[in-house]
Amino acid sequence: MKVIKISSFIELHETMKECRLPGYWLFRGQEDEKWELIPKGKRVPYITRDDIVQFRFWKRQAIEYVNNPPANDWHWLALAQHHGLATRLLDWSSNPLVAAYFACNNDSHDGAIFAYLGGKYILEQSFNQSVPWDVTEPSIFHPYIKSRRVSNQGGSFTISGLPEECFSRQIREDENIVKLVIDKDYKKDLLFELDLYGINSKMIYPDLDGLSQHSNWQVEYGTKYLR
């Protein structure tokens, strides 16, 4: 896996130029560059319980909160991930700046943006003929959830037959993952630069929680640029 160090917006922009057509790139931000590409449902402490059992237990309880239940387990699993359940899905975005935002959540260590090109797509017409647990190779699918949050974040998911293994070690030779390491000393500056382009908590979480988080962030860190 190719690794590129990023310590300025120019470096980020120049690197992103390589992630253009042909091909549909996906991006994932992680606040600690040492973290592997393993979904939450297969990390401690959640790995101590079967994620399929946990999902089915969640689904039985969730039905009373959902006005229009998803048509199949693909959409149910996406809905569970969207609302915070630890699943075997990995979140990705079609927008590299959204991934950069998530990579900057904590500035105590270097973060990472993963750029991924390739993979088998789970097509909509196959959703009713299969379940997520049947997947044997790394695959991509787009959620069908009526949510501004998913829309704003350009959300997609990956899933694999070995979700407990790092995703980057499972892909085929003709696929590609690039890792951009974001210097921890650059993270606060990058958040301000992202905000200039409208990428902030207000956009990522388009509700009152996101608005409040953005307002707090402006007070906590904005004074640096008001001196």
- Please state the domain extents for the chain: 2-184
pLDDT truncated to tens, each residue of the chain (227 aa)?
Answer: 899 999 999 999 999 888 876 668 999 999 999 999 999 999 999 999 999 999 999 999 999 998 888 888 998 999 999 889 999 999 999 899 999 999 998 999 999 999 999 878 887 777 877 899 999 999 998 877 776 777 777 789 999 999 999 999 999 887 889 999 999 999 999 999 999 999 999 999 888 989 999 999 988 876 665 54
- The 3-class secondary structure across the chain, one letter per residue, is CEEEEECCHHHHHHHHCCCCCCCCEEEEEECCCCCCCCCHHHCCCHHHCCHHHHHHHHHHHHHHHCCCCCCCHHHHHHHHHHCCCCCCCEEEECCHHHHHHHHCCCCCCCEEEEEEECCEECCHHHHHHCCHHHCCCCEEECCCCCCHHHHHHCEEEEECCCCCCCHHHCCCCCCEEEEEEECHHHHHHHHHHHHHCCCCHHHHCCCHHHHHHHHHHHHHHHHHHCC
